[in-house]
Amino acid sequence: MASAAARPGRANEDFTGAVPTAAVLIDGAGIPGSESICRHGVAWYASRLGGTLLSLLSLVRDRSLPALLAEAIEQVTDDHRGTCDVVDPISPSATVAILRLSDGLIEHLVLGDSVLVLDRADGGPLVVSDPREVIISRSYEAALEAVAADSDEYHRILRDLRANRNQPGGFWMAKDDPRAAGEAITGSCPVSELAGAVLLSNGASRIVDRFRLADWPRVMAVLASTGPAEIIRRVRQAEVRDAVAADDATIAHCTDFNGA
């Protein structure tokens, strides 16, 4: 695993962790002003959700991944419902990626714009993603670029974008409503078909989908030879080169499934 905050002195709003049969990656999301809504903050929400999920994955083996995610969302929401406005559109939320080994199968779940890549033993990598937020966000790009960053109008447009979250026809993330878990992208495949898998926050997956520095087979090769920190290093170089704002970047690379 490797994780790096967007810049020194700023809290890393990503979380990743693993237990012997599962791995979790959480990418926290928030916009300026959320501190007045939730006193805990986005980093707290991401780590709390990730820790709760790992606990459930360790203890509860007979429930589906969406059911476990729904329970985790409900537990974390209850943890701060009494002190924070959990239903406000700008209260903390997160994208989620989960991988679980169960009875000879590798099960996966993706909610939001995190990315999960299954490294198939025969054939190319299978990329699992949830494109709904990206598609909707593109319709707001022109309006955001036309106004000053951090202006009142900029934040108003962001609020309009966030209003599409966890709504029919919109995009879905972990926040305060456990029903969002039912909208996750899920699937499974036999362990024997996989050489490995990787979970990436969108700050790390931009090596492929934004900067085009590599394709997914090349990413898997670099992970196998050098490790996830090298992928993040290359992303940081590209951000500087292209004057792109850095984002928290996190990778969990999973291998040796047959030995788990």
Give the pTM: 0.92
The CA distance from 25 to 191, in Å, is 20
The pLDDT averaged over each successive group of 10 residues in the chain (260 residues) is: 93 96 93 75 94 95 94 94 85 94 95 96 92 90 89 86 88 94 96 95 96 96 96 97 95 83
- Residue 259: the pLDDT is 61
- Residue 202: the pLDDT is 95
- Residue 260: the pLDDT is 55
- Residue 55 makes CB contacts below 8 A (sequence gap 6+) with none
Within the chain, residue ranges assigned H as helices are: 42-59, 65-80, 132-138, 141-145, 152-162, 202-209, 216-225, 228-241
Q: Are 116 and 99 in contact (CB under 8 A)?
A: yes
